[in-house]
Amino acid sequence: MIYIAIVISVIYSMLIVAFIVGFNNLKAFKNIKFTPKNTFSIVIAFRNEVENLPKLLQSLSNLNYPANLFEILLVNDNSTDAFQQIITDFKKQYPQLTIVLLNNKRTSNSSKKDAISIGIQKSKFDWIVTTDADCEVSKNWLTLFNEFIEDKKPLFISAPVSFKQKASFLFHFQNLNFISLIGSTIGGFGIKKPFMCNGANLCYSKKVFNEINGFSGNETIVSGDDIFLLEKLFKKYPEKTCFLKSEESVVLTNSEPTWKQFFNQQMRWASKSTSYKNNFAKFVGIIVFLENLMISTAIIATLINLIYWKVFVFIFIQKLFVDFLLIEKTSQFLKNKKSLIYFPITSLLYPFFIIFIGSFSTFKKYEWKGRVYKK
């Protein structure tokens, strides 16, 4: 058992080092001042986001891109709050912007995929851009997508997401977890094995979306409007599936306000992992789970019998070191370093968190946006 733990720890460390190398390989994209040319349809599915919509819409109104070259499609997913007045007032305030309000029509088990599909069906421009209703975008968001398209000729672009800053321990725990996911995402693209992306900051060709039949094939899975699309695009166009590594392209989003909502979010994300078709994604998931299982087991074994302390120290310090290198590098890129002081304590708690989420996501129901979902 001890040797198995050491082998898993070594494999895990090699994987994280590969992500660090990939992160460094992926060069930062600089603003190169291409003339605005490409047209974008920004599709946003929302449900009961009355507190967040004003901030999102305000950030969209500040976009440094010609208003005639983009449109905003807001797809209402059965909201019960007072969203209508917010959108009506915003349209009056910014008449130069094309803002279309649509209602979702459920045709699958995934309301968000349905909403995005409806937005794409009604869109009139060449490129689809997605974000979430609790996000805020930078003023050069579309400008950078335009320049990246002109320079790299991609068909699918994943871009970075970061949390808005808060002060609680819950936030710092979520933030370090999220930063590690963003770092692994960038690292995966950097070694040409992309396996993650975030639907809060995606851009892809509408023509290619229709060519691969959109979300067809994973309609029964509640989440995954981002990752399953990445899998399909990468399989057919691996050289055209790219990551836009730019500080100016970062989209800001909210962390979850309570532990319960955080756990539900994580179970929602984890529940789709068994449906991955990407073998590398499956490998990463298995190794990460096993590594955290070994760490948590070693902690418990050491508390019961101190004879195991050397094993615990070896695998924990090794994980601590490589994780910190990736998280610190990603934090610096995102300009989001305040949570690093909590890294040691979260590193002790995180293995138990992963085991809890990984185990419960296989059979437990979870709640999201007022709806209860089964695995």
Q: How far apart are CA 289 and CA 293, in angstroms?
A: 6
**pLDDT beyond 60 at 307:** yes
Residue 201 in domain: yes
115: in domain = yes
Give the residue carrying structure tokens 């912007």.
Answer: 97
Total count of domains within the chain: 1
Judge whether residue 5 has pLDDT over 90. no
* Per-residue pLDDT at 120 exceeds 70: yes
The tens digit of pLDDT for each residue in 41-85 reads 999 999 999 999 999 999 999 999 999 999 999 999 989 999 999
Is 82 a domain residue?
yes
Q: Is 353 helix (H, G, I), strand (E, B) or coil?
A: helix
* Residues recorded for the chain: 375
213 occurs within a structural domain: yes
| Local structure of residue 246 (DSSP, 8 states) | -
- Quickly state the pLDDT bin for 291 (edges 50, 70, 90): very high
Contacts of 34 (CB under 8 A, 6+ apart): 146, 147, 150, 151
pLDDT class of 268 with cuts at 50, 70, 90: confident
Task: Supply the mean pLDDT for the chain.
Answer: 91
On the question of pLDDT at 336 being above 80, the answer is yes
Asked whether residue 375 is assigned to any structural domain, the reply reads: no
Q: Is the pTM of this model over 0.85?
A: yes
Which pLDDT score, from 0 to 100, does residue 363 have?
61
**Secondary structure letter of residue 255 according to DSSP:** P
pLDDT value at residue 32:
77
Q: What is the domain-level CATH number for residue 123?
A: 3.90.550.10
Q: Tokens 């995402």 correspond to what residue? A: 185
Q: What is the DSSP string of 274-338?
A: GG---HHHHHHHHHHHHHHHHHHHHHHHHHH-GGGHHHHHHHHHHHHHHHHHHHHHHHHHHT--G
172 domain residue, yes or no: yes
Q: How many CB atoms lie within 10 A of CB 374?
A: 10
Structural tokens at position 160: 């970075």
Q: Whole domain around residue 78: which residue ranges?
A: 30-182+194-258
Helices (H), the chain: 2-25, 53-61, 83-93, 111-122, 141-152, 169-190, 206-211, 227-236, 259-271, 279-304, 309-334, 343-360
Query: 254 in the Ramachandran plot: left (φ > 0), alpha (ψ -120 to 50) or beta?
Result: beta
| Residue 277 burial (CB count, 10 A) | 12
Asked whether residue 266 is assigned to any structural domain, the reply reads no
Average pLDDT value for residue range 286-302: 90
List pLDDT tens digits, range 189-217: 999 999 999 999 999 999 999 999 888 87
What average pLDDT does range 263-271 have in this prediction?
82
97 part of a folded domain: yes
Is the pLDDT score of 283 beyond 90?
yes
Residue 230's closest CA among 212, 246, 247, 248? 212
SS3 375: coil
